[in-house]
Structure 1
């Protein structure tokens, strides 16, 4: 039997990976701090793969980062941008966390999520709130854009999901990701990113995840940091504001970036620098005292 390979033709046996409950290989990345780690954080990122975030993880000397390409993303197996149940993303994230915690049981765990990865982060933390010290959300998907979720469009999406679930709708306009043209060009040139249209069935999964999040928000008590640009055209900032206003958490913070686009960590250099500083400062301040562990492998 031929050994399974990642998208670049490299066998998974030569790549860091986990095998999920469905037997699919998920490509992983790990970022180690320069010294003994004081905390561990999972990054369930967005439509992209986990490769473009290397520079983000190199900025923090105390934190160990782990990430994987979701099913159907990047170098992981699975039908591109298609999934039968959004819960699979949450299940796989918890599996990865459980694996790392088995090796490093004394390290506190955080989640850092962007866009759709923000939705995954929120639902993952809601499922097992006792497992996480805090959650950082960068332009999370909490609310569908009103213009794309009118009653008529939702009705048509549900109808098409029964008749033509594989029908593709509009793709992401990369120009709205960042005000830095170099970042947009890099996104467009990256073959591991999905550049096609969104299937109707996938859109329905996103809507179901949003509905579930909005039911969960009134009971969210865990600490969180929200970062969002007020010029974000891909994930409605009103979702972040609604989460901040309606969550009963007593440890929450929101920072709005004037003129900021969707991928704040890849926006203008001064914005990206501010985002990384906010993220690392907030996590560092929330690490329980006297925690450290061996290097992440």
Structure 2
């Protein structure tokens, strides 16, 4: 049987924040998967995904973003620049590549983590062999009224921590009632409203990513729930059309909401991810 070694750790960012990390290592890993969580949550919510990947021979590495989960950073859930988060991720990926230089590296990102994954790709695609991206808000700014964008930009200049919008209504996470209950009960999740600064950062990164997507040649698997009311599936369609990669796949799941890896039929999604990774060894 493939024994999985679980270990937590941390590292210091360039601005001296301590970020929490976790890894799941099988006996003889055949590739590395860097797991990138979304807004207001933490990497521990994807332990079942990491365990499944590790059981199939993939070494999984994850971090909690700054101001999220077990990582430092205040106010909580405030990210004023996705570029900064991508820099954190780059630092972590570099450390993984030094420790495991023989392993090909893939990235798996969900929601804001999917946008961060795109941000990493358009800046550092040479560091990866492929990526799986779930429900990324690539069209975030295009799905917000220009008036609201202008208002948010003005408020952000004065007080980026002001929180006005409920970005993650629990009923829209998934059709899985247990997932809703677990999210609400988890103190490591952020339960407040969206800080204006984070919203502005997401919008700005979405614009930046769209402009750079035609330069992407990396193999990519794009996944989304067809019932997603938190992130418009148009972002997945837009990314699919814009990237130049000859190896790109897009798949929507009927009767699934935003968190497809936490849905009632999550095993199907995880199996699809593993099958894609297996095909890209």
TM range (shorter): over 0.9
C-alpha separation between the residues in 2 aligned to 1:52 and 1:244?
27
8 Å CA contact retained: 1:145, 1:236: no
Q: Please, which of 50, 54, 57 is the counterpart of residue 50 of structure 2? A: 57
Q: Which ranges of structure 1 fall in alignment gaps of 5 or more residues? A: 1-13, 288-297
8 Å CA contact retained: 1:145, 1:235: no
TM-score in terms of structure 2 length:
0.92
C-alpha separation between the residues in 1 aligned to 2:24 and 2:158?
44
Map 1:225-264 to 2 at 5 A: 225-264=221-260
Total equivalences in the alignment: 270
Map 1:1-297 to 2 at 5 A: 16-33=9-26, 35-47=27-39, 48-60=41-53, 61-79=56-74, 80-144=76-140, 149-171=144-166, 172-268=168-264, 270=265, 272-287=266-281
The structure whose RCO (Cα within 8 Å, separation 6+) is larger is 1
CA deviation profile, 1:128-185 (whole Å, cap 9, x unmatched):
11110000011112111755x1111111112222344332112220111110001111
Q: Which ranges of structure 2 fall in alignment gaps of 5 or more residues? A: 1-6
Point out the more displaced range, 64-73 or 42-51: 42-51
Give the drift of 1:256. Answer: 0.7
C-alpha separation between the residues in 1 aligned to 2:18 and 2:219?
32
C-alpha separation between the residues in 1 aligned to 2:141 and 2:252?
18
CA deviation profile, 1:83-105 (whole Å, cap 9, x unmatched):
33221110111111111111111
Secondary structure of the 1:249 match is coil
> What RMSD in Å do the two structures reach over aligned CA positions?
1.4
TM-score in terms of structure 1 length:
0.88
CA deviation profile, 1:62-84 (whole Å, cap 9, x unmatched):
10000010000000000111133
Provide the residue aligned with 1:3 in structure 2.
Answer: none
Query: After TM superposition, which residue ranges in structure 1, 4 or more long, deviate above 2 angstroms?
Result: 162-166
More strand by share: 2
CA deviation profile, 1:230-284 (whole Å, cap 9, x unmatched):
110111100101111221210000111112100001011x2x0111011111111
